[in-house]
Structure 1
Amino acid sequence: MGEVRPGPAHERLGVLVGEWVGEEEFAATPWAPAGTARSRHSLRSGVGGLAVVHDYEQARGGGDPFLGHGFFTVDPGTGEVVWFFLDSTGFPPDTPLRGDWDGEGVLRLAKTTPRGQARHVFRFHGDAFEHEIDVRLGDAAAFSPFARGRFHRV
């Protein structure tokens, strides 16, 4: 198997790279109550340009921080953006989120797990981005808003 080299799809992920801070609002879930948080996304290029490595830290109400780590890359077979992500809830990343760019500056990703389904939308505007997460948990009939965040580059 030949070596995969970064291409235009990998380069497009470069919009993610940087240090980002912002505020998030969360709906209640079986894992946590509704609330707000101050969060940081630290994203850097890695694996010779084939991935964007992601570290996440969220501070809510004086408790222990909520942490996450993952990476974005491009599936060479499908061209889809994939995002593997593990967080401090402890559930392993059994499957990545998958999706693609929707126009200029909008990345849409989704995944299904035994706990439900999640849809993420990242909207980039220069040195700012919005991150929306909608979920459908258990046997719910429809998706509902879970998180809304606004971040700026520092």
Structure 2
Amino acid sequence: MAEDHLAAPVPLPEHERLAAFAGEWHGEETVHPSRWTEGGAATSQVTARIALNGFYLIQDSRQTRDGRESFAAHALFTYDREDRLYKLFWHDSLGYYPPSPASGGWTGKTLTLVRGSLRGNARHVYEVIDDKSYLMKIQFSPDAEGWADVLTGVYRRVH
């Protein structure tokens, strides 16, 4: 009797596409005035790595304004084989717990992920410029129609 071995799942090309954001990054950011904070310039240090057998990108970022840490985030990105959408599980130092992950996909070199909550809707947009830089913006909308920038930045790979 031959033994049946179930092969462990392997990452799909969709999972591998997230590697564009893996590495150490330095961000130059603009914090836009919002209900959460005043506007102004900021910098961020972002560390991201492919983990868990290639299925996830785990990202940690720390923002500095006026010489002190002003915001931090921990994010997990993956591709959902069931609904064929990318997912973003986002946790940050504002302390709100998202009821569900942001969801979305790629259009060209831009990954857009949207999530709703009782407070409104958040949209995360990541645009690959090249292998050394990307743009990111976080936007807010009360109704998922008109979007206002909350944070915009350019991130450059640190060697």
Query: What displacement does 1:64 show?
Result: 3.6
Number of equivalences: 152
Match of 2:37? 32
Query: What displacement does 1:140 show?
Result: 9.1
In structure 2, what residue type is equivalent to 1:122? Y
Correspondences of 1:5-44 after superposition (within 5 Å): 5-44=10-49
Maintained 8 Å contact 1:122/1:131 = yes
Q: CA 1:94 to 1:61, structure 2 compared with 1: closer, same or farther past 3 Å?
A: same
Instruction: Please give the TM-score of this superposition, normalised by the length of structure 2.
Output: 0.87
Q: CA 1:140 to 1:47, structure 2 compared with 1: closer, same or farther past 3 Å?
A: closer
Unaligned runs of 5+ residues in structure 1 are none
Instruction: Please give the TM-score of this superposition, normalised by the length of structure 1.
Output: 0.90
RMSD of aligned alpha carbons:
1.9
Match of 2:110? 106
In structure 2, what residue type is equivalent to 1:27? H
Match of 2:129? 125
Query: What displacement does 1:3 show?
Result: 4.8
Q: Which runs of 4+ in 1 moved over 4 A?
A: none
Match of 1:70? 75
User: Match of 2:53, SS?
Assistant: helix
Unaligned runs of 5+ residues in structure 2 are 1-6
Match of 1:49? 54
Out of 76, 95, 100, the position equivalent to 2:100 is 95
In structure 1, what is the Cα distance between the partners aligned to 2:69 and 2:27? 18
Q: CA 1:64 to 1:22, structure 2 compared with 1: closer, same or farther past 3 Å?
A: closer
Query: What displacement does 1:6 show?
Result: 0.7
In structure 2, what is the Cα distance between the partners aligned to 1:89 and 1:147? 14
Q: CA 1:76 to 1:35, structure 2 compared with 1: closer, same or farther past 3 Å?
A: same
Identical-residue share of aligned pairs (%): 33
In structure 2, what is the Cα distance between the partners aligned to 1:121 and 1:97? 11
1:149 and 2:153 are equivalent in the alignment: yes
